[in-house]
A and B are shown apart, each in its own frame.
Chain A
Amino acid sequence: MKSSKTIVVKASELRLWWFPLLVVLVVVVGTPLVILPTINRIVGTNKQLGQMESDLRNAVKKIDQLKAVDEDKINQLSLLFKQALPAEKPYYQALLALQQLRNDTGVSLGDLELNLGLLASDSAGVKAKTDRGGYMTMDTKLRVEGTTEQISEFVTKLQESLPLMKVNNISIDTTSRVGTDNDLRGVNLDLQLVYMLDPPQSKTIGYEPLPLLSDEVDIVSKELEEYFNPMVDEAIIEPSVTDLSRTDIFNF
């Protein structure tokens, strides 16, 4: 009789409490299984969305920038700048310019130390230094013979020719006056050939905006256009094949 009473009481209590218990169960089970993962997913998606929207803004900006880029102008500038600052060791270009300047000024050239190396692979191993401007320099020496005026003109024109070269040191050797003419001088020039390797081609797309093509680019290009460019004016150079195995490659 007592146990049946207990069962009746428990059954009535269960009738009263099933709903709150069910709610507690739903909250306790639903929170870790549904609510928290959903919140985490929303936070993660929001973070990804922020990054993607930022990328999209930058990408659209970059596309707009690219639409404004004059591809022909960029091609021309690229060509001119590579003639001024080649993308590889500028042996051939330097020889061409020196040969033309020799013809223009009437000096004799010799003892050019280009450090070519005996093998093609050696020339790749010739040490180059990186300057703070991001370009590479290679020290070379050149002997110039001529009158003071000729040498002066040669040095001045050398500094207005492409590819760009740096004249670091001019040393006039008084004891080696060449020939019988006392006006002739022998000059040793310490030259630096300069070049700048192209960066490796991009494999991935970056969304960062393009660097600005400032007015300085136009100023630089205008200045370079006024320089003597043997690669463009090649037609006026007497056709010749430069044989690097010769002792004096400047005398033909």
Chain B
Amino acid sequence: MNYSAAPAINFLSERKVKFDKNTRFAQKVKLWSGVVLVVYIALLVVLVMIDQVYAARKNQTEKALQAAKLELTSKLVVIDQYKAVVNRAKAIKQLLTERRSSIELWNKVKEILPEGTELLGFSLEESKLSLRFSAPNVVVANQVIDVVSSGLGGIEPSSAEVDVRRDESASYNVNVEATLSK
């Protein structure tokens, strides 16, 4: 027997292989766990930073908005007055436009009346124009009818109806119902 030789011990036993394998796996798991933890903490830090940045911006914007609100509140009377002026101006413009067509028609009708004719009635409701004339004789009555049928001196109704009647004083009453094109 050779006692100087080392004893032949099998270090690479099956259990050792298994142990080493488990250890390496555990190391890997630890490593990956560490990575996950670092990433997780980094994500948390980033989120907290973003949260802080947003909170700071919100605070800053809130202060600026509060200051703007205060300035606007001091001008509330002017704002209301300004808005009222704009609304009233719109309403007046609409009213003037409606009235203008009525005034223009009134002046136009007075212009185109033949000599001897008397205007007895004038009404304008939306686009419906009603006129009532009195003519002393049939010649003037015919002139009125001519004026109406030739387009009321440039007023150009889309349709017109003329009704002539003779009254007790032997003069002619001419009624005109015209629809004006818009």
Contacts and interface: CB of A to CB of B under 8 A. Distances in A.
Interface of A: 16-17, 19-20, 22-24, 26-27, 30, 34-35, 38-39, 41-42, 45-46, 48-49, 52-53, 55-56, 59-60, 62-63, 66, 69, 71, 74-75, 77-78, 81-82, 84-85, 131-135, 148, 152, 155-156, 159, 164, 166-172, 174, 190, 194, 196, 198-199, 201-202, 205, 207, 210-213, 216-217, 220-221, 223-224
Contacts of A24: 33
Given A135-B95, A205-B73, A45 B68 contact: no
7 contacts: A16-B22, A59-B69, A84-B92, A164-B95, A169-B125, A196-B87, A205-B73
Contact of B72 (A48, A63, A69): A63
B48 A205 contact: no
A217 B83 contact: no
Contacts of A152: 110
B84 A174 contact: no
A201 B122 CA distance: 42
A49 B57 contact: yes
Nearest to A67: B75
B169 to A, nearest CB: 8
Contacts of B123: 168-171, 190
Interface stretch (B36-44, B147-155, B156-164): B36-44
A74 B95 contact: no
Interface in B52-98: 54-55, 57-58, 61-62, 64-65, 68-69, 71-73, 75-76, 78-96, 98
A112 B3 CA distance: 146
B116 interface: no
B91 A211 contact: no
Contact of B124 (A30, A168, A171, A217): A168
A80 B83 CA distance: 15
Question: Chain A's interface: helix, strand, loop or mixed, by majority?
Answer: helix
Contacts of B21: none
Given A133-B95, A220-B96, A77 B54 contact: no
B40 A30 contact: yes
Contacts of A212: 86
B76 A220 contact: no
Contacts of B57: 49
B102 A166 contact: yes
Contact of B121 (A20, A172, A194, A202): A172
A74 B85 contact: yes
A132 B87 CA distance: 13
Contacts of A170: 106, 121-123
Contact of A223 (B48, B54, B58, B96): B96
Contact of B84 (A59, A78, A167): A78
Contact of B83 (A27, A35, A42, A211): A211
